[in-house]
Chain A
Amino acid sequence: MRSLTRKINQWTAKLLDLPQDVVSDLPRVTMIGNVQLYIENHRGVIEFSNEALKLALSKGQLEIAGKDLVLRAILTEEVFVEGVIHDIKYIP
């Protein structure tokens, strides 16, 4: 039943040309150069230091590696990270 709902959702999204993050519960990651990172739809912080940030997602994790990382702002669904970002890894 649940997979059926998802299928209908995906089909509708394709038909209406909607972005995936609106339909499925996926994060939207916006990156400005290697200095700013903006993640919407996260599920909390798993690990944080000034060289690594691990965020929980609805499915999987997002690992960010860099230097002098600062959580400029953090809200229930949004994170705004600043610093020198080297690496972003998506763990499903």
Chain B
Amino acid sequence: MSHSWIQSVRGYVLVEVRGRGLEQLINRMIQQRMYVRDIRYTAEDRAEMNVVVGDFFRMRPLLKETGCRIHVVKRFGLPFLLDKLEKRKFFVVGLAGFIVGLYLLTSLVWQVRVEGNERISTDAVLQAARSEGVYKLQWKFRLPDEEQLARKLQSRLPGTAWIGVEMRGTHVVIKLVEATVPETKPLLSPRNLVAAKSGLVTKIIAEKGRPVVRPNTYVRQGDVLISGVLGDEQNSQTVVASGEVRGIVWYAPKIEVPLTLQYKVYTGEQKKRFYLVFGNRALQVTGYGKLAFEQFEAIQERKALQWRNYRLPLGWISEKVLETRMAEQPLDPAEARAIGLERAKSEILAVAGEGARVVGEKILHEKTENGKVYMEVHLEVEESIAAEQPIVPQP
């Protein structure tokens, strides 16, 4: 039994048959191997049936034989459709135009996308792709092979480790992996390392350049420590001197320390304030009134409502205002001296830079006057004394 779609391709007709020899007609038709479907009895000596177009014409002699009359009710299938289309030429032209248009539109490149670039700008990649013939509204069949295109693009884009070109329908996706380039060192002009301060060299390590001084020699400010000029007078070359030079530098700060020590203490009086917080504004709720404290410190504790990871713009602040006063404590001169020395050391070390340490200290002069201790101290500090000095080429 053939399928109905095959029949609709071949075309079939619904016919009405009238006559006495209906059964005989059916028998004759099946003897002739005609294909008849859906035989439906409609009235006395009348029936409807579906017949394939080819069989319809072969039925003619059988009709004569059996004395039946035939009448076409309806036509189905492709042959009749084509017949109809022949009459509607513009419709056919439109249909063909639509299919051709659809095909043409799908064979254009509608988008070029770049993925995976961080340092190289998308525009630069698109520019390179354009010069290789990949751009918007280019015909897809004019594009070169993907692999070849990727290779050409890579030669146009230095700084890429890999480029892949993928065509997804009307989109061209250029994927690239950028090469990791080592960081370029800043260009430096030839230089010497000279002494930033006068002092005694304790350690000199030249990474580049020629050390000029030895440890345990005194240098003055501006003396060359590591020279950036290599070679003798005939053949010389200038380099960027680098290295580490440490030396002992002398300091003689003058120190004043009062003989009383002042510090803040809480008196125990306190006042509480409470604020509600909405966003950036705080509204005071309790603790109004003038403060009776001359000196005070406020300690705030802020709480915000939170739900999971979201901080809500609502909260409160509880503030404690604590009264303070300055207390004084008399110091004996020895204590004052120790405090003064410590202060002087920390001030100098903060200025001297990293790795500095005090190697020797000596009080040169000391006097107590007007409730203060005046001192002059000598501090020996070991620190880095190298400074950079560019070499000016001699004309």
Binding site for B on A (CB under 8 A): 44-50, 69-76
Residues in B whose Cβ lies below 8 Å from that of A46: 23
- 7 tightest CB-CB pairs across the interface, nearest first? A71-B39, A50-B41, A44-B27, A45-B23, A49-B41, A45-B26, A70-B40
B37 an interface residue at 8 Å Cβ cutoff? yes
Interface of A is mostly: strand
From A43, which residue of chain B is reached at the shortest CB distance? Answer: B27
B38 an interface residue at 8 Å Cβ cutoff? yes
Task: Mark contacts of B33-44 with chain A using CB atoms, 8 A cut-off: 1 yes-contact digit, 0 otherwise.
Answer: 100111111100
Task: Mark contacts of B211-240 with chain A using CB atoms, 8 A cut-off: 1 yes-contact digit, 0 otherwise.
Answer: 000000000000000000000000000000
CA distance A74 to B22 in the complex (A): 14
Choose from B1, B22, B31, B42 the contact partner of A73 (Cβ within 8 Å). B1
Distance of B22 from chain A, by nearest CB (Å): 7
Residues in A whose Cβ lies below 8 Å from that of B27: 44-45
- Known A-B contacts A45-B26, A46-B23, A48-B26; the reply to A74 vs B41 at CB < 8 A is no
- Known A-B contacts A44-B27, A45-B27, A48-B47; the reply to A72 vs B37 at CB < 8 A is yes
Distance of A36 from chain B, by nearest CB (Å): 14
Bin the interface of chain B by size. Answer: 10 to 19
CA distance A72 to B40 in the complex (A): 8
Determine which residue in A45, A46, A72 has the highest number of CB atoms from chain B within 10 A of its CB, and name it: A45
Binding site for A on B (CB under 8 A): 1, 22-23, 26-27, 30-31, 33, 36-42, 47, 49
Assess whether A48 is in contact with B39, with CB atoms less than 8 Å apart: yes
Residues in B whose Cβ lies below 8 Å from that of A50: 40-42
Assess whether A48 is in contact with B38, with CB atoms less than 8 Å apart: no
Choose from A48, A49, A74 the contact partner of B30 (Cβ within 8 Å). A74
**13 A–B contacts from the bound complex (CB under 8 Å):** A44-B23, A47-B23, A48-B22, A48-B39, A48-B47, A49-B41, A50-B40, A71-B26, A71-B38, A71-B40, A73-B37, A73-B38, A74-B36
CA distance A44 to B30 in the complex (A): 8
Residues in A whose Cβ lies below 8 Å from that of B40: 50, 70-71
CA distance A76 to B23 in the complex (A): 14
CA distance A46 to B36 in the complex (A): 17
Assess whether A48 is in contact with B31, with CB atoms less than 8 Å apart: no
With A69-B41, A73-B38, A74-B36 known, 16 other A-B pairs at CB within 8 A are: A44-B26, A44-B27, A44-B30, A47-B23, A48-B39, A50-B40, A50-B41, A70-B40, A71-B26, A71-B38, A71-B40, A71-B49, A72-B37, A72-B38, A75-B30, A76-B30
